[in-house]
Structure 1
Amino acid sequence: MKRIKSDEVPGSGKLHYGWIVAAVTFASLLVAAGIRSLPGVLMLPLEQEFGWERSGISAAVSINLVLYGLMGPFAAASLEKFGVRKMMVTALALLATGLSLSAAMTSLWQLTLLWGVVIGLGTSVMANVLGVTVANRWFAKRKGLVVGILTASAATGQLLFLPLLAKLASDAGWRYAVWAAVAALIVMIVVSVKWMRGHPAELGLPPYGSDELVRPVPFRGSLFVQPLLALRSVLRSGTFWLLAGSFFICGFTTNGLIGTHLIAACGDFGIPEVTAAGILAFMGVFDLVGTTLSGWLSDRFDSRWLLFWYYSLRGLSLLFLPAALDMGYTELTLFSVFYGLDWIATVPPTVKIASDRFGAAQAGMVFGWIVAAHQLGAAAAAFGAGLLRESLGSYDVAFMIAGFVCMAAALMSVRIRRRSQAASGDVTAA
């Protein structure tokens, strides 16, 4: 077996090329996260220009979230079969096409088709399964940290894009915000073509932290059947159901509720859209810190208890949110700090448990199904919170429900058996 020092790359000094791949992946996921945040910015402008009901706009967002989740396992299989670079470029091009066409839409069904279906399919590849695939292929050490950094790109995307997009939508119109996102996608297509690589073996390198050259395992079987077989293999695992159930609640309380409705909820209290987007972006700063730290912690501590504390603290912050909205900017800023620290800090420990229990070979597809549960929860909240707002006149009940279900997720996390206890059952099932 060929041996190369893991910190050396031909023509790149002593920087392992895995870090370059991670940087390109981070930037691509960052742009995709900015696009996923657009519905929160566009909800009020679309409502005002076209007279569409909030529940109708929320339904399109829900379809997007469902496809983003349900296509995750098949996206993981596609990454294995066709290669990371080819799938990334295809997904980015699909997003650019859907966004460009959406600038000319005039009917709600067009919003549903473009934002719900086309963009939903594009974002399914630019999701956590991409980060997990890159981390598993390129890193033998620091894997938890890398997953945390790549997961944090969602927060950074909000940080960079939300205030800019909200400002463009407010000052120049929502279509300018859409075209700005298209421009960012074109840049990332060029960057991905030039610098992205799918596997360290393409450069004759071992993964970072190893001195053994690992050849990629060819994808075998059907692109559509293999993810279903991976799902069937873990259906008897209690660990899988606890991870999927808690991740359903994770999506319910993040992307679906806060990501989709917080700006609109602030509008109900007279907080300007640009200011509300700034609060959400400020939240993203702390999530960048919290999620990166979570990746570091998941390499060192019991991931079950990390999840317990993350969900518990998130629940408390959501229970506080209705009061914070009513009190003013100071309390809302306090919420954004507290909530932001663990917005998606749950991802690294969830990935860690899934990889440990079901093996690296299936980690991408199994985690894809767990993410599918996450997005089903997000879709339920995106649509359900819109309905509650229309029927009750406020989001208070939606926020309270989210706070209490987070407590349930915390209890589910500690019900996951320890690795030594679960080894025979889960690995045999997988």
Structure 2
Amino acid sequence: MVDVVDNTLIHATDEASLRYPGWRVLIACVIGMIFSSGPMLFGSMGLFVEYFEGEFGWTRGGIMLSLTLNTIATIVAAPICGRLIDRFGARKVLLPSILVFAALWASVPMFTGELGHLYLIISLIGFFTVGTQSISYIRVVSAWFDKKRGLAIGITASGLGLSYMLTPLIVQTVLEYRDWRYAYWTMAAMILLISFPTMYFFIRNGPADAVSTVANPSTPKEKALYGLTLREALQTREFWVISFALLLFSLLLTGFVPHIVPIMTERGLSVKAAAQTASIMGFATFVGRIGVGYLIDRIFAPYVAIVFFASAAGGFLILASGSVGPVAMIAAMMIGLGFGAESDLIGYFVSRYFGLRSFGEIYGYIYGAFLIGAGAGPLLLGIGHDRLGSYISLLTVFSIVAAAGCTLFLLLRPFPNLEGEQVPC
């Protein structure tokens, strides 16, 4: 097996150096995030909606309910996954999750036209593939980086933006030549042939794990980790403020993502042009994740959150005016910047407020709150569209709620100085 860290780099500890072995692990994490189950599912569903409606006669709200069920399953599984990561390490959870994800994704086209079959498969993806999502990758990079943790998390999370940018383009390209079933099979093959080998050869849980892999498997794999237990975290104001704020913004932003293509096609754009708008939003998400990561190493993270989520509120307001063309693309970019802040902030807030001692479990519960919003958002927007026949009023409400939600971050106190952590703010 090819080792991620050779003997000449074992003792490199300077995170600012390009020779620091954590950067190789970081690149692998970006690739893994591109093929994580969340963005691939939410980023592609908007392109499949019309095919499902036309072939099976399902309603848009009924189709989007599958995303809600997926999210419920993920909410149940996330704390379990977090505990497994804390106990066994992210790598041992991540690798089997990728294989299961590829198999389940390839099986989506095999349902027989019953909506319940779609619900079952999408729910199984939610429960058994949490390990392919940010909870694993953010834990890995948080162990490899301290002084540059915000930037590292931002770069890692940018893989989600790349996924939201690339997924619609890949799906639309396949749809131009074959039917929607081949789009699922193509993506499943990419998960199996790109994601799994990269994670197998390059992901290590932390510097000590890399050293033990090269030198001596019996070497202790972790130094003492500092921070709060789950019970202690639950007693803090920050846990509940962060959970509620991210629930709210995931409802708005993740809820919006699978609807961007239908929103644009209702305004006269072709599916191809609408997919390009979705990809532009994905690019802005990519930029937003790196930008947030860079800034939170230098500026108090709650202030950064306010700026990026306010950008999303402005984007919703512009789209609520019925804009199309370049103006709509600017709005999509503004929303993408806000969407780009979410994953960065979860991992960074958890590591800085609560430490790494019970990172996986605490992250799992806050991520569960985040997913409640992510699951409710697409359903509420889909039902609202079915009843109102338009997205205009709904986008206006989204804009107002997003603007009000920014004030929640003012309730967060300065980061505690946890032993063993270098706190920037």
TM range (shorter): 0.7 to 0.9
Q: How far has the Cα of 1:17 moved from its partner? A: 2.7
> Do the aligned partners of 1:251 and 1:377 also contact (CA within 8 Å) in 2?
yes
- Aligned match of 1:22: 26
Q: TM-score, normalised by structure 2?
A: 0.86
Q: Does 2:68 align with 1:72?
A: no
Task: Tell me the alpha carbon deviations over residues 167-211 of structure 1, each in whole angstroms, 9 at most, x when there is no partner.
Answer: 3234421111101111111112222223322332233289xxxxx
Q: Distance between the aligned counterparts of 1:6 and 1:214, measured in 2?
A: 18
SS in structure 2 of the partner of residue 341 of structure 1: helix
- Aligned match of 2:5: none
> Do the aligned partners of 2:318 and 2:328 also contact (CA within 8 Å) in 1?
no
Q: Bigger shift: 135-144 or 291-300?
A: 135-144
Pairs aligned (count):
397
> Do the aligned partners of 1:167 and 1:274 also contact (CA within 8 Å) in 2?
no
Q: Distance between the aligned counterparts of 1:217 and 1:50, measured in 2?
A: 55
Q: Does 2:326 align with 1:330?
A: yes
Give, as a single letter, the amino acid of the residue that structure 1 aligns with 2:31: A
- Aligned match of 1:372: 368
Q: Does 2:301 align with 1:303?
A: yes
Of 31, 37, 43, 2:43 maps to 37
Task: Tell me the alpha carbon deviations over residues 91-119 of structure 1, each in whole angstroms, 9 at most, x when there is no partner.
Answer: 1111111112212112111100001x221
> Do the aligned partners of 1:132 and 1:364 also contact (CA within 8 Å) in 2?
no
- Aligned match of 1:387: 383
Q: Distance between the aligned counterparts of 1:303 and 1:203, measured in 2?
A: 30
Task: Tell me the alpha carbon deviations over residues 362-402 of structure 1, each in whole angstroms, 9 at most, x when there is no partner.
Answer: 23322222111111011111111111111110122322222
Give, as a single letter, the amino acid of the residue that structure 1 aligns with 2:242: L
- Aligned match of 2:205: 198
> Do the aligned partners of 1:245 and 1:409 also contact (CA within 8 Å) in 2?
no
- Aligned match of 1:275: 273
Uncovered stretches (5+) of structure 1, i.e. residues with no partner: 207-212, 220-228, 424-430
Q: Does 2:335 align with 1:339?
A: yes
Of 155, 158, 165, 1:159 maps to 165
> Do the aligned partners of 2:102 and 2:192 also contact (CA within 8 Å) in 1?
yes
Give, as a single letter, the amino acid of the residue that structure 2 aligns with 1:162: P
> Do the aligned partners of 2:90 and 2:137 also contact (CA within 8 Å) in 1?
no
Q: Distance between the aligned counterparts of 2:18 and 2:313, measured in 1?
A: 44
Of 318, 321, 324, 1:320 maps to 318
Q: Distance between the aligned counterparts of 1:231 and 1:264, measured in 2?
A: 41
> Do the aligned partners of 2:71 and 2:126 also contact (CA within 8 Å) in 1?
yes
Q: Distance between the aligned counterparts of 1:69 and 1:90, measured in 2?
A: 19
Q: Does 2:239 align with 1:243?
A: no
Q: Distance between the aligned counterparts of 1:215 and 1:97, measured in 2?
A: 32
Q: Does 2:410 align with 1:406?
A: no
> Do the aligned partners of 1:67 and 1:124 also contact (CA within 8 Å) in 2?
no
Give, as a single letter, the amino acid of the residue that structure 2 aligns with 1:272: S
Change (3 A) 1:137 1:419: closer
Q: How far has the Cα of 1:236 moved from its partner? A: 2.7
Of 250, 261, 264, 1:263 maps to 261
Change (3 A) 1:149 1:393: same
Q: How far has the Cα of 1:295 moved from its partner? A: 0.5
Q: How far has the Cα of 1:231 moved from its partner? A: 4.5
Q: Distance between the aligned counterparts of 2:209 and 2:356, measured in 1?
A: 20
Change (3 A) 1:17 1:55: same
- Aligned match of 2:292: 294
Q: TM-score, normalised by structure 1?
A: 0.85
Change (3 A) 1:352 1:177: same
Q: Distance between the aligned counterparts of 2:54 and 2:357, measured in 1?
A: 49
Q: How far has the Cα of 1:139 moved from its partner? A: 1.7
Task: Tell me the alpha carbon deviations over residues 310-354 of structure 1, each in whole angstroms, 9 at most, x when there is no partner.
Answer: 22221121122122xx33212111112222223222433443333
> Do the aligned partners of 1:170 and 1:274 also contact (CA within 8 Å) in 2?
no
Give, as a single letter, the amino acid of the residue that structure 1 aligns with 2:156: L
> Do the aligned partners of 1:242 and 1:413 also contact (CA within 8 Å) in 2?
yes
Uncovered stretches (5+) of structure 2, i.e. residues with no partner: 1-8, 214-218, 419-425
Task: Tell me the alpha carbon deviations over residues 288-324 of structure 1, each in whole angstroms, 9 at most, x when there is no partner.
Answer: 122101111101111121112222221121122122x
Q: Distance between the aligned counterparts of 1:374 and 1:14, measured in 2?
A: 34
Of 5, 11, 15, 2:11 maps to 5
Q: How far has the Cα of 1:43 moved from its partner? A: 1.4
Q: Distance between the aligned counterparts of 2:413 and 2:88, measured in 1?
A: 36
Change (3 A) 1:203 1:309: closer
> Do the aligned partners of 2:267 and 2:324 also contact (CA within 8 Å) in 1?
no
Q: Distance between the aligned counterparts of 1:278 and 1:69, measured in 2?
A: 31
SS in structure 1 of the partner of residue 35 of structure 2: helix
- Aligned match of 1:222: none
Q: Distance between the aligned counterparts of 1:247 and 1:218, measured in 2?
A: 30
